[in-house]
Structure 1
Amino acid sequence: MAEHKHGTMDTTTQEKTFDGFVRWSVRVAVFSIGVLIFLAIFNS
């Protein structure tokens, strides 16, 4: 088995994926809040 040294793993791909997930989540949340506000204002 290969020796594992703690703290040497390259996590750039995981960090990019997480950043993309957070960005997507924020955009969906803002869009959803915008739709709710629109419905609250223009719903007879």
Structure 2
Amino acid sequence: MAEHEHGDMRIEDHEKTFDGFLAWMIRGAIVSIVALIFLAIFNS
């Protein structure tokens, strides 16, 4: 088994995955907020 050296891991794939996750969570939050506003306006 190879010895681990701190700082030699490539993290480009991890960063792309995390950026995609954040983008989808932001989109989901915006859709949820718009849906709540729509319900608040037209439910009365």
In structure 2, give the amino acid aligned to 1:12: E
Aligned length: 44
**CA RMSD between the two structures:** 0.8
User: Map of 1:4-43 to 2, 5 A cutoff?
Assistant: 4-43=4-43
- Distance across 2 between alignment mates of 1:2 and 1:37: 55
| CA deviations over 1:1-44 (Å, ceiling 9, x no partner) | 21221101000000000000000000000000000000000112
Identical residues among aligned pairs (%): 64
CA distance in 2, matches of 1:4, 1:39: 54
* Uncovered stretches (5+) of structure 2, i.e. residues with no partner: none
Q: Gapped runs of 5+ residues in structure 1?
A: none
Deviation beyond 2 Å, 4+ runs, structure 1: none
